Structure 1
Amino acid sequence: MNRQIRWGILGYARIARLQLIPAILASGNGRIQALASRDESKLAEACAQVPELVSYTSYSELLADPQVDAVYIPLPNALHRQWVVAALDAGKHVLCEKPLALSAREAREMQAAAVSNERLLMEAIMYRYTDRTRQLRAVLDSGVLGEIRHVNASFRFLLDRPGTIKMEPELGGGALYDVGVYPVSLLGLITDGALPVRVHAEAQFDNGVDVNASVLLRYESGLLATLHCGFNAFGQMGAEIIGSKGRLMVPDPFLGEAGELTLVTAQGSRSIPVSATDRYTAQVRDFAAAVLQQRSPLIPLKESIRNLEVLDLIRASLQAH
């Protein structure tokens, strides 16, 4: 590929600084053109990280830059819809940090803006690019598990950073939006995008945001799934998929490190090796390639909207009791 897309970044968020900027620099088919932040000290830090970038103190100024082809948006969740639509209307392709929006309704508005402006919009949910996910899909596609009867998936960590936006309800904080999106996404892969017919959720709240949540979901096929997420207790990440003929155990399903899956059937137990994957670089490389080649990326918008429909059902269950 002999072309690169020129990236603009709205906000110097922690994930932009630590993950996405290094990923773009390593991608080979993209470079960082500009970054906008309302905090001049963050701008100075960003310029030290990427000396050649153009800096702006307003997001609108960056969106008006004709040298920017695509925009990465790591802003607080409650600002995603506003700035995604603004970027699309400015003629930019958009990679938006998960969750794409606060609701499926918001996501459909963003989808309409992408279609009308003929621009690519994708949710950044990097675990979809790992070898771990590829191996998991291969097991599912092989049929060795039989009919899937139960799924249990969890993602929790202990949040010990003071002043984080994850604890701000008006900014779309809470564990469901922050880490619950991952088990919900994984369940969508396992069920091939089916929506549950019944959802029951329970959560603990602190400062108006959910900090610990468990969800039971029932599907028309009879599948029962349990999802757990939180950031008020010791870390836990894992998934177990149980079918009529076998069981698959997936440690750290959302990480990119090397490891193994464990498949148990009537024939015994075997390990499936997993290679390390630079998931953030793979993500931005695929997005840029999709723009340059005018093709669909790995993660379609319909998948992100479906996940938000499930999150809507979970939130509705929490509000009902």
Structure 2
Amino acid sequence: MARCRARCQRGTHGSPVHWGILGCARIARLQVIPAILRCANAQLQAMASREPARLAECQAQFGPFSAHASYDALLADPAVDAVYLPLPNSLHCEWAIKAMRAGKHVLCEKPLALNAAEAERMVATARDCGVLLMEAFMYRYTERVRKIREILDSGVLGDIRSINSTFRFLLDRVNTIKEQPELGGGALYDVGCYPLNLIGMIAQDEPVETVVACDRAHGVDINLSAILRYRSGLVASLHCGFNAFGRMHTEITGTQGTLLAPDTFLDDAGQLQLITAKGCETIAVAASDRYGSEIADFSDAILQKRPLALTLDESLRNMRVLETLLKQSRS
């Protein structure tokens, strides 16, 4: 492995983490950059794009930052501590590794990589270079997920036997990267990775058996369902797609009760329903700032030199499962 560049001295305790953004992706402009601007321990330092007009638009919208005409130039910028990587899925491995070898911490959009081998190279680079790498599952920072975990930890549901989780929407935009196989398009990569991550968070294991049913178009999966069976006796199902009306919902059932979690991956206010022998209890969920909390936590982990909430071992485990499901969907 190529030798890592010396870590920069910025981002030390008490200073904001200086962020660089690779590209002007929609999610960066609409969600992550505003989140950086909301965080006391983070600062927008630089952006890179081969389109000067896009950089100028971002500077007009978000204020001054260092504008770079290439990704390599941003990675060579000594003022940048951490990089947010919202590039197409097919570019995650290449540019995350380049960033980490340049001494930058990396928050990489989900999915972490296209397959387990890429993810393993990324994780090995992070550990070799002594930098932080995290898959950007922002939903893990919501009050909704905090309450779900609290209920699971309480044991009120008993032994978990069934999880059903769905995330789908109607894709009404044409020529998007979501339908381009060479860029890592497809429903499982795009939205199915959320239910898979949630199931992995609960199961804390890899399934011993998987079955997949899938419809494909444009060379990618557009409607996919999977059954995952675990050695604990848990049977989980996930559904994803972007060829029909939107749906986001999770049902978790144990030997003593069921938990219903509408809008599972959102951060708006809502409610959970806990159903047990005692009846049905409605649990209020407060609105959260999932992107802001993610940036603040990642920045704090850099400043405090502490582990991240979402571990690389978890990302590797889920990537192995995702790869298995994708292979079955193509057979």
Question: What's the TM-score bracket when you normalise by the shorter of the two chains?
Answer: over 0.9
> Matches of 1:2 and 1:318 in 2, distance apart?
48
Is 1:163 aligned to residue 175 of structure 2?
yes
Equivalent residue, structure 1, for 2:29: 17
> Matches of 2:50 and 2:174 in 1, distance apart?
21
> Matches of 1:45 and 1:206 in 2, distance apart?
35
Deviations, residues 128-186 of structure 1 (Å, cap 9, x unaligned): 00010010001111111111111100000011122211111000000000000100001
CA contact (8 A) 2:221 2:329 kept: no
Q: How does 1:126-137 map to 2 (within 5 A)?
A: 126-137=138-149
How far is the alpha carbon of 1:51 from its aligned partner?
2.5
Amino acid in structure 2 at the alignment position of 1:96 = C
> Matches of 1:319 and 1:231 in 2, distance apart?
17
Would you say how many aligned residue pairs link Structure 1 and Structure 2? 319
Aligned counterpart for 2:124 among listed residues 96, 112, 136: 112
* CA RMSD between the two structures: 0.9
Equivalent residue, structure 1, for 2:110: 98
Equivalent residue, structure 2, for 1:230: 241
Secondary structure in structure 1 of the residue aligned to 2:287: coil
Secondary structure in structure 2 of the residue aligned to 1:6: strand
Is 1:207 aligned to residue 231 of structure 2?
no
How far is the alpha carbon of 1:316 from its aligned partner?
2.2
How far is the alpha carbon of 1:87 from its aligned partner?
0.1
Secondary structure in structure 2 of the residue aligned to 1:226: strand
Equivalent residue, structure 2, for 1:4: 16
Amino acid in structure 2 at the alignment position of 1:267 = K
Range moving further from structure 2, 73-82 or 296-305: 296-305
Equivalent residue, structure 2, for 1:39: 51
Amino acid in structure 2 at the alignment position of 1:208 = G
Q: Percent identity?
A: 55
Is 1:55 aligned to residue 67 of structure 2?
yes
> Matches of 2:103 and 2:37 in 1, distance apart?
23
Unaligned runs of 5+ in 2: 1-12
> Matches of 1:142 and 1:189 in 2, distance apart?
16
How far is the alpha carbon of 1:317 from its aligned partner?
1.7
How far is the alpha carbon of 1:79 from its aligned partner?
0.1
Is 1:178 aligned to residue 190 of structure 2?
yes
Secondary structure in structure 1 of the residue aligned to 2:158: coil
How far is the alpha carbon of 1:103 from its aligned partner?
1.0
- Runs of 4+ aligned structure 1 residues displaced above 6 Å come to none
How far is the alpha carbon of 1:315 from its aligned partner?
1.3
> Matches of 2:118 and 2:240 in 1, distance apart?
23
Is 1:301 aligned to residue 312 of structure 2?
yes
Equivalent residue, structure 1, for 2:229: 218
Equivalent residue, structure 1, for 2:9: none
- TM-score calculated relative to the size of structure 2: 0.95
Range moving further from structure 2, 96-105 or 279-288: 96-105
Secondary structure in structure 2 of the residue aligned to 1:185: helix
How far is the alpha carbon of 1:224 from its aligned partner?
1.1
How far is the alpha carbon of 1:63 from its aligned partner?
0.3
How far is the alpha carbon of 1:38 from its aligned partner?
1.3
Equivalent residue, structure 2, for 1:83: 95
Equivalent residue, structure 2, for 1:280: 291
How far is the alpha carbon of 1:222 from its aligned partner?
1.7
CA contact (8 A) 2:14 2:303 kept: no
Q: How does 1:185-204 map to 2 (within 5 A)?
A: 185-191=197-203, 193-204=204-215
CA contact (8 A) 2:212 2:225 kept: yes
